[in-house]
Amino acid sequence: MSKKNIVAQTLLLCLDLLLISMAIFLAVFIRNNILPNIMLFEPVSYIEYLVYPFPYVIIVTLFMWFGLYTRRYDLWQESLFIIKVCFISFIIIFATLALGKNIEYYSRAVLLLSLFLSVIFLPIGRYFLKKSLFRLGLWERKVKFIGNLNKNEIGIFNSPHVGYVLSKDDTYDVIFISSGDKSVSELNDLIESNKLLNREVLFIPVLNQYDFTQSVLYNNFSTRLNLFTLENKLLGKQNKILKYLLDYVLVLSTLPFWGGLILLISIKLKLEDPKGKIFFLQKRLGQEGKIFYCYKFRTMVSDQSFMQQWLIDNPEERDYYAVYHKYINDPRITKFGHFLRRTSLDELPQLFNVLKGDMSLVGNRPYMVEEQQKMKDAASIILMSKPGVTGLWQVSGRSDVSFEERLQIDSWYIKNWSIWNDIVILFKTVGVVLRKDGAS
């Protein structure tokens, strides 16, 4: 291990300890100063909780177990491991105190709050520290890539959080092998030669349409075979119920916020065009190909009779639409309509579709009815689930991807669905909206 890696890991460890202590301090503060206004609580000692070593030891030990100091996870996978660690830590600490008959001496509110706050502080703190370490050259690892780089693989080297950089010379710490154009014997030789030199070997499998982190890997010792499971979790009854509950809990709990927004936008649209409609209804493909009316705010002018001549005058727009199913500079969109689209607020009425059961909060964006034939074999996979108000396509390039790329992205989402993926997409959607990176 290089000196740079040791320094980086030490700084990460120190940051984790600092953030855990901050979480405990804030938890005690809330317990002493806010909760007594709601429930009758006696104040507890800050020092008693800050010097209690068990939370620090358990969390750091589990971080080491999950490889959070050595492995290069992206932000979202690292965040998932942090949530798991904090949940396991709470169970271990609570059980230990209960078995030792010390539970009455420690506030359960402080334990719960400190671990909840750790889930917030640790991913954010690590994100900014890793960015700083990467800029200083302490978090980067030089990579030699063997194979042909595609667009997704290039993205691996654009993340300061992961820290991999393509080597420009013959010095490198890690070897990436893309297996697509290599024979089995070539792959074995490459892996063995680099393992002998104590280099880290990362292998990109041929089956790149599956998320193997959700698979279970089995080793059959007697036959020396590795087996892994692949399943469509979205078809499971429990997962369907979980996704259904996530939709309704989030939509109903935020009803006052988005309901008020819809009211304000509706008033603005009526003031601009008293004769125009507020909502635009369009037939779209739902689950199993069922056709439903998808709600959106009207963002275009009512009179579109000029479009035929405009397309004759702008053939490049017609060609662009043939590929992306959108226009570069659509003259039908109003000034306020551009704002609604950039912020994705035009799609807010689709929350009514969620309540009706036509759509889900997260899923593949609903396809037009006439697009079903163009979807070909992908239709049987994509239409297995309800379409979503937001989806992987939105946070992976939005309107800048071709129809074929969109089909690939949507198929990947269905094949590799998990509740965590839905949560990540929801968080990323917030970023898209705040950056005004919506559909053009």
Weakest-pLDDT range from 42-51, 92-101, 193-202, 222-231: 193-202
What pLDDT is attached to residue 439? 52
Q: What does pLDDT average to over the chain?
A: 86
Identify which of 329, 379, 340 has the alpha carbon closest to the alpha carbon of residue 262.
Answer: 340
Per domain, the residue ranges of the chain are 3-135, 141-208, 237-299+334-434
Q: Indicate the range of 190-204, 240-254, 342-356 predicted with least confidence.
A: 190-204
pLDDT value for 48: 83
- Mean pLDDT within 247-275: 93
User: Does the structure show a pLDDT above 70 at 198?
Assistant: no
Average pLDDT over residues 52-64: 92
> Taking residues 134-157, what's their average pLDDT?
82
pLDDT value at residue 40: 53
Long-range (24+ apart) CB contacts under 8 A made by 57-61 are 58/89, 58/92, 58/93, 59/16, 59/20, 59/85, 59/86, 59/89, 59/118, 60/13, 60/16, 60/17
Predicted local distance difference test score (pLDDT) of residue 51: 86
pLDDT on residue 326 = 74
d(CA 389, CA 21): 39
Q: Is the pLDDT of residue 36 over 70?
A: no
d(CA 11, CA 205): 33
As beta bridge partners, residue 141 has: 164
- Residue 223: both structure tokens together: 């036959």
Which carries the bigger pLDDT value, residue 43 or residue 129? 129
For residue 23, the model assigns a pLDDT of 95
What is the percentage of the chain residues whose pLDDT exceeds 90? Answer: 44
* Cβ neighbourhood burial of 220 (10 Å; 0-12, 13-18, 19+): exposed
- For residues 101 and 58, what is the distance between their CA atoms, to the nearest angstrom? 19
pLDDT reported for residue 437: 65
Average pLDDT over residues 220-248: 86
User: Would you say 428 and 333 are in contact if contact means Cβ atoms under 8 Å apart?
Assistant: no
| pLDDT > 80? residue 204 | no
- Write down the pLDDT at residue 144: 85
